[in-house]
Amino acid sequence: MDGIREAGGGVTAMPRWNSKPGSRMLAEVSLWSADLANLARDVERLSPYADAFHLDVADAHFAPDLLFFPDLVAALRRHTERLFHVHLMVDRPSKLVDRFVAAGADLVTVHCETGRLEVREAISRIRANDCAAGVALRLETPVSAVEPYLQQISAVLLLGTMPSVKGREPGPEACARIRSMDTLLDQHGLRSQVVIVADGGIRSHTVSELREAGADAIVAGSLVFQADDLAEIFAWLHSVGAKP
């Protein structure tokens, strides 16, 4: 997980993502919850602790907000060597992939709900850029919808709340969906290769439940940005369900 990004080549995005530790839960930090007027400062402040930074991209169509754009990602890329997970909550992700990979994304996740042709095109473009690909599912989408893409992806992101919703508890079905995804990946012999990311409703009292259900990573926002002691909160996150 600590691979170094080198200018002009060097360590590529896919090997960087695939070098993640498998013995403990991964903590992605959602930059949507950062101090938006001081993003670079917050990236540098959390880099010693975070496994990755999570950057939501929204187009005001697929999701109701307007969020992060490629030039901003490129500007932040200079402030950290941590992984960048770009989550495209947009109608046409294939049109944006190249720019976000060029900006410094290590993992680009696209939504299954945009349609099979669009998802296949986006994944193809992501992988052609030597970047890791992920597929995201909204809360109401059956976990089986990811099956056509399992052989081409490195991560599945399961939303626990509606897209672009902050400050809500995860839906009551969130843990059951993670368990179903865990089973599905195991059936395909891919459990050790595809990371299950839980996104939405990450609170101190929900982390253990999500981890027990099978989440390999969580996307934490206010949980870490409002913490008094960053070292303590990340040590706790990394210890939840850690394997010897």
Write down the catalytic residue from 42, 56, 106, 182: 56
Amino acid at 51: D
Residue 45 has which token pair?
Answer: 């402040």
Among 63, 1, 79, 24, smallest CA distance to 218 is for 24
Among 130, 87, 95, 132, smallest CA distance to 112 is for 87
Number of helices (H), then strands (E), belonging to the chain: the values are: 9, 10
Residue 42 annotated among the catalytic residues of the structure: no
Write down the catalytic residue from 42, 106, 182, 199: 199
Please provide the size of the chain in residues: 244
Q: Do 1 and 11 touch, CB atoms closer than 8 A?
A: no
Among 83, 137, 128, smallest CA distance to 109 is for 137
Residue 82 has which token pair?
Answer: 């941590």
Q: DSSP assignment, residue 131?
A: -
Q: For 149-223, list the strands marked E by DSSP.
A: 155-159, 195-199, 217-220
Q: DSSP assignment, residue 117?
A: H
Residue 65 annotated among the catalytic residues of the structure: no
Q: Do 78 and 72 touch, CB atoms closer than 8 A?
A: no
Residues noted as catalytic: 56, 199
